[in-house]
A and B are shown apart, each in its own frame.
Chain A
Amino acid sequence: MNIRISSFVFCLLLFSQVEGKAQTSITDTVIQIRNVTVSAERRQRDNNIGSRRSDIQSVLLESSKTQTLGELLSENSLVYIKSLGQGGLSTSSFRGTSSSHTQVNWNGITINPIMGGSFDFSQFPNFFTDEVTLFHGNTYLKNGTGAFGGSINMNTRPDWNKETNRFRALLEYGANDTYTGGLAYRHVTPRLLSNTRLYYQQSDNDFKYLNKVLQKDPFYERRKEAKYWQGGLMQELYYKLGDSQQLSLAGWYMYNRNQLPQPILVNKKQHELQVTQNVRLNAGYQLVEGKHNFKANLAYLRDDLHYTQRFDGDYRGTDSDNKSNSLIVKTDYTYHFRENLELGGSLNYRYDWVHTNNYDDPIKRNTVTLTTNLVWRPKERTILNLQLMGEQNDHLFMPTFSAGASYALIRDLLDVKGSVAYNYHYPTLNDLYWVPGGNPDLNPEKGFAYDATVSLNKTLGNFSFKLDASYYLMTVKDWIVWLPTQQTYLWSPKNIQKVFSHGAEIMGEVGLKTGVFSHRVIANYGYSPAINKTRSSDKDATVDKQLPYIPLHKWNLHYLLQVKDFSFKYGVAFTDKRYTSTDEEYSTVAFTIHDAEAGYMFHFPKSRYKAEFKLRVNNIFNAYYESTEFYPMPLRRFFGSMMFYF
C-alpha cells in the first residue's frame, strides 16, 4: 500500500497533466503481480530510441578481467583513450569531444570526478563490472546532462542462478613484474544474493625502450618512476521483497597509488606520486509491478586525490590535497498506459561539496534535475521517443530535450533510426574555482546533435551477421578553453570556441559455426572530424582545424575462435595520427597494435569445478608507440593467467 501511495505522490509530482489517469490506474485497478525479471536494459533502450547503443561483447570483457576499462575501450570500442601508459592517466574522447564530455556511470550513478570532470579509466578494473554499454551521442538524458560525446555505463548484474559457480579466483603474472589477483564470491538464497569481489594489481612497469629524443645519441632506458598499485573491494547485496520488488546495496572501495612518470624528452629528477581513494555507496529500491516501474537510489561518492611532487634540488615541491563528496538521490518512474505507450520521468538531486587546497574556499553545488519521457509505438514497426529535461544547477536553470524515432524498414532485418537532442555541459568546478585561473563567470557549453543509424541483423542457420552504421552531427557553442591572460600570463578558462563535430561509426559482426568450430569477427570503424569554427584573432590559424588528440580514423578488428574448451582471440587496433597543437602543426604518428590470447578451460571430473588457463601477448610486433606524445607505451608483453571456478 505504501508503495502505491509513494507511486501516486511521485506521479503527481511528475505528471500533473496525466494526474487523473494515473490516479485511476493505481487506485481502481487490481494490479496483477507477476513474476518479472527486473531489467534495466529495457528502460535504457526505450529512452535511447533513435541513437546508437553498443555493448562490449561479454567474451571480450571476460578476457580483459585483469585489465582496466581504459585498455578495454581502447582496443574494443570507438572511444579514443589518451593514455600516459600502463597504469597511467587514461582519458576519453567520444565522438570528437573532450574527456569531460564523456559521462561515466556505475549502475546508473554518474561517477565522473566533480572537480575536473574527466574520468580516469585506468582506475577502473574490469573485474568490477559485468557489463559495459556505450550510449553514443547525447540523446540519453536520464543520467543527467553534459554527455556530448556519449556515456559509458558499467553495470553489475545480480546472478540468482544457484547452479552456476559461486567462487572465482584469478591469478595473473606478466611482463615488468605485473601481478594481478582477484577473488569473487557469490552467496545465493531464495531472497538474498551477496556478491563480493576483491582485486589487486601491482606493476613495476619498468619496460625497456629506445629513447631517440632526449639527447644527441639514442640510448636504451627503462621507464622510470612508473610503478603502480591498485586494489579494490566491492560488496553487493540484493534482497527480494516478493516477486516484484528488490532492495540493493552496493559498496565499492578503490585504492590507486601511482608514480607519475615524465615524458621521455625530459631529463627529470623530480618525483611525482598520486594516491586516490574512492568510496562509492549505492542503495536502491526497485519495483516492477503491473504497469508501474519504479526505481529509487540513494548514493554517496567520495573521491580523495593526493598529489605530491618532490625535487632533488633546492626547488620546493607541491602538495595537492583534494577531497570531493557527492550525495545523490535518484527516482525514476515509468507508467505503461498501454502496450504501445509509456510515460515516465525522473527526479534527481545531487549535492556536491569539495575541500581542496586548490580552491580559495570549500565549494558546494546543488543540482536538481526533472525529466519526463514518453515512448510511443504508433505502429508495430515504429517507435517514437521524447524526453524533456529541466536542470537547476545552483542559480542557473537550463532546459533541454531529446527526440528519437526508430522504424523497422524490413522486419527482423533492417532498422533505421534517428534522433535530435539539445544538451549542455556545466563548467567543471576546476573551470570555475581553480586557483589560479578559475573563472566563475563561465557559461555552460551547449549544442544540438543529430544522429542517424542503420542496423542490419540477420541469422541464417549457423551464420549470423550484424551491421550498425551511424552518422552524427554536432555543434557545441561556448566550448571552454583554457587560455593565457594578458598581464598575469596565467591560464584561465573562457567560453570561446565553437566546435563542429561530425562523423561516422560502423560496427560489424559476423559469426559462423562449423562443427565444433565457432568463429566470430567483430569490427569497429570510426571517422571523427572535430573542427574548431571560431577565429579568436586575425592571426588565428586554428579555424577549420581538427581538435588536438582526436584521431580522424580509428578502427579495431577481433577474431574469436572457440573449439570445445579451447579459445583463441586475435585483435588489431589502429589509431590515426593525432594533432598535438590546435593549428595542426604538430602531431603524433599513427599506430597499429596486435594482441593475441589463447586459453583452455579444464573441467574437473565429476564436478562443476573448472579452471581456465590463458596466455596473452600484447603488442605482438613489439611496436614502439605513444598514445600521448613522448609517453611510451609498453612493447611486447606476455601474461599468463589462471582462473578457478568453484
Chain B
Amino acid sequence: MNAILAVAFMSMLFVSCSDNDDIPDGPDPDLKVRAYVACEGNFTKGTASLNAIMEDGTVQTDIFRNANNRPLGDVAQSFSIIDGKIFITLNNSEKIEVVNESDYKSVATILYPERTISPQYVMQIDDHRAVVSDLWNAFLWIIDTKEYKVLQEIPVSTYSTKQMAVADGKLFVTLAAKKIAVISLSSLKVIKELDIPVVGDSKLLKDKNGLIWALACGFDDDPESIIPRTVTSLNGIDPTTLETVKTVKFPSDYTVSKFGARLDINQAKDKLYLNVIHDNKEGIYSFPIDGEQLPAEPLFVYSDKVELLYNMAVSPEETIFICDALDYRQRGWVYEFDLSGKRLNEYQVGIIPQYILFK
C-alpha cells in the first residue's frame, strides 16, 4: 500500500519544467532595411532591442534576440554601422554588442572589465578605430573595430560624455551638457573646451559647409528643475578656428525641453530640424543653415500626436521620424510625418525607441 502511494505520488511530480515559445520569428534577409531603431528597454529589465523598419513598411522586431537567442542587453543607447558590423551600446549592461548587418549574428561582445562604464555613442575615427563616449566617466575610450577590444582612454575634464562629431581632424564631444570638448585625433588629447551647454541629448551635426552645429540652453542640475536659465540658441562652430562663428538666439518664449530636445539635419546638410516649445505646445521647427532667426511658426505641432517624444530624426526623404515611448512600460512606436505634420506611417517597435539610423 505504501509503495503504491509513493509511486503514485512520484509519477505526479515529473511534469514539464518550462516553456520558451515566446521568441518571435527571425528576420527576413530578403527584405531591405529602411532604418534601424534601437530601443532602450526598461532599466535593469533587459528589454533593449534592435528593430528594423523595412522598405515595404513592415517591422522586424528584436532582431538581435531572434538571431542569437539571447537578449540584447540592458538599456540600448545607440549604434553605429562600421564596415558591415553594427556596434550597439548597452549602457547599463556596460558592453557593446557587435553583430553582422547581414544576418544580425553576434560577432563579439566588447567589455571593459577594468572599468565601470556606460557606453553612449560610437564614432568611427579611422579604418580600425572608433571612439566611445561614456556617461559615467571623465574619459572616452577607443575600441579596435577589427579586434573588438578596448585600446586606450582619452581623459576629459569632467564625467559624462555624450554626442560626438568629427571634423577637420578633430573630435567634438559634449561634456555633461555644459561644454564641448575638442580632441585632436592625432594626439588624442583635449585641445580646447568650448563653453556651449549642449541641451539634452541633441546631436552635434556637421553641415555642408563644414560647420559643427550645437543646440544650447542652460539648465540647473536639479533633475526636477526644467526651467531654462539661459535663452536657447543654435551655434555654428568653425572646426578649424574652434570659434563659434554663428549664434542664433531664440526669443525668450521659445524654449526647449531639458531632456527631450533633439536636433537633426537633412541629407543635403543645409537645413536643421529641432523640437521647440512655444505657447505650451511642442512643435517641429526647421532652420536653414544660412538663416538668421528661428521661424515663428513650427512645421507642425506634435504634442497632440505623440504621447512621449523620445527622439526625432530626419529621413533621407526629408520626412520627420518621431519616437514615441508611450508610458515606458510597453512597446513604443515610431511615427513618420511629412513636413506639414501629416502622419505618413507608423511602426511599432520595441520598448522606449531611442535611436534611429537610416540606411
**A-B contacts, 6 listed (Cβ < 8 Å):** A265-B74, A315-B159, A487-B260, A521-B9, A581-B47, A581-B330
Complex CA distance for A329 and B31, rounded to whole angstroms:
70
**What are the interface flags for B312-329 relative to A under an 8 Å C-beta threshold, 1 for contact and 0 otherwise?**
000000000000111111
> Dominant SS at the A interface?
loop
* 0/1 interface trace, chain B 202-216, chain A, CB 8 Å (1 if under): 000000000000000
Confirm or deny: A131 has a beta carbon within 8 angstroms of a beta carbon on chain B. Answer: no
**Which residues of chain A come closer than 8 Å to B293, judged between CB atoms?**
none
Most buried by A among B109, B111, B331: B331
Cβ B5 vs Cβ A436 within 8 A: no
Q: Which residues of chain B are within 8 angstroms of A577 by Cβ–Cβ distance? A: 19, 22
**Chain A residues within an 8 Å CB radius of B229:** none
Is B245 interfacial (CB-CB < 8 Å)?
Answer: no
**What bracket does the count of chain A residues touching chain B fall in?**
35 or more
Q: Within the complex, which residue of B137, B258, B326 is in contact with A314, where a contact is CB–CB below 8 Å? A: B137
- In chain B, positions 119-170 with a C-beta closer than 8 Å to chain A are 135-139, 159
How big is chain B's contact interface, by range? 35 or more
Quick check: B257 and A487 within 8 Å, CB to CB? yes
Q: Chain A: residues with CB nearer than 8 A to chain B?
A: 212-216, 262-263, 265-270, 311-315, 435-436, 481, 483-484, 486-491, 512, 514, 517, 519, 521, 536-537, 539-542, 548, 557, 559, 561, 570, 572, 574, 577, 580-583, 585-587, 589-592, 594, 621, 623, 625, 629-630
Q: How far is the CA of A267 from the CA of B74 in the complex (A)?
A: 10
Question: When A266-B93, A592-B16 are in contact, do A488 and B111 touch as well, CB less than 8 Å?
Answer: no
- On whether the beta carbons of B326 and A487 are closer than 8 Å, the reply is no
**Shortest Cβ distance from B42 into A: residue:** A581
A623 touches B17 (CB 8 A): yes
The reply to whether A488 and B136 form a contact with Cβ atoms under 8 Å apart is: no
Cross-chain contact A590 with B92 (CB below 8 angstroms):
no
- 8 closest cross-chain pairs (CB), A and B: A215-B109, A315-B136, A583-B330, A313-B116, A269-B116, A589-B18, A267-B94, A489-B259
> Is the beta-carbon distance between B136 and A313 smaller than 8 angstroms?
yes
Does residue B341 face the partner (Cβ distance < 8 Å to A)? Answer: no
B44 close to A (CB within 8 Å) = yes
Is B12 in contact with chain A by the CB < 8 A criterion? yes
- Chain B residues lying within 8 Å of A586, measured Cβ to Cβ, are 22, 45, 47, 351
A355 to B6, CA, bound (A): 56
B-side contacts of A594, CB under 8 Å: 13
Q: Find out whether the CB atom of A540 lies under 8 angstroms from the CB atom of B326.
A: yes
CB of B73 within 8 Å of the partner chain? yes
B226 & A488 in contact (Cβ 8 Å cutoff):
yes
Measured CB to CB, the closest approach of chain B to A592, in angstroms, equals: 5
Which residue from A314, A548, A557 sits with its C-beta under 8 Å from B12? A557
* A537-B223 contact in complex given A557-B12, A570-B13, C-beta closer than 8 Å: no
Contacts of B330 in A (CB 8 A): 540-542, 581-583, 585
Does B262 reach chain A (CB closer than 8 Å)?
A: no
Given known contacts A213-B46, A313-B136, A537-B326, A490 and B223 CB-to-CB distance under 8 angstroms = yes
What distance in Å separates the Cβ of A582 from its nearest Cβ neighbour in chain B?
4
Besides A521-B9, A537-B327, 14 more A-B contacts (Cβ < 8 Å) are A212-B70, A265-B71, A266-B94, A267-B93, A267-B113, A314-B136, A315-B135, A484-B327, A486-B308, A540-B327, A542-B330, A557-B12, A581-B47, A583-B331
Task: Give A566 Cβ to nearest chain B Cβ, in Å.
Answer: 12
Cα separation A481 to B329 with both chains bound (whole Å)? 10
For the complex, what is the distance from the CA of A366 to the CA of B343, rounded to whole Å? 52
Distance of A15 Cα from B17 Cα, bound (Å): 56
How far apart are the CA atoms of A594 and B12 in the complex, in Å?
A: 12
Known: A265-B93, A436-B223. A629 touches B116 (CB 8 A): no
**B296: Cβ under 8 A from any A Cβ:** no
Q: Is B30 engaged at the interface, CB distance under 8 Å to the other chain?
A: no
Q: Which residues of chain B in 48-95 are interfacial with respect to chain A, using CB atoms and an 8 Å cutoff?
A: 68, 70-71, 73-74, 92-95
**Segment 334-359 of B: residues with Cβ below 8 Å from A:** 348, 351
Residues of A within 8 A of B6 (CB): 561
Q: Give A587 to B46 CA distance when docked, in angstroms.
A: 11
Q: Give Cα distance in the complex from A490 to B226, angstroms.
A: 11
Q: Contact: B224 with A435, CB < 8 Å?
A: yes
Cα distance, A574 to B13, chains bound together (Å):
10
B93 near A487: Cβ-Cβ < 8 Å: no
B113, B115, B224, B327 — which one has the most chain A CB atoms within 10 A of its CB? B327
Would A536 and B327 be within 8 Å (CB), given that A212-B70, A519-B2 are in contact? yes
- In the complex, A27→B275 CA distance in Å? 80
- Chain A residue contacts of B13, Cβ below 8 A: 557, 570, 572, 594
Contacting pair B159 A213 (CB below 8 A) = no
Q: Does residue B333 face the partner (Cβ distance < 8 Å to A)?
A: yes
A488 touches B223 (CB 8 A): yes
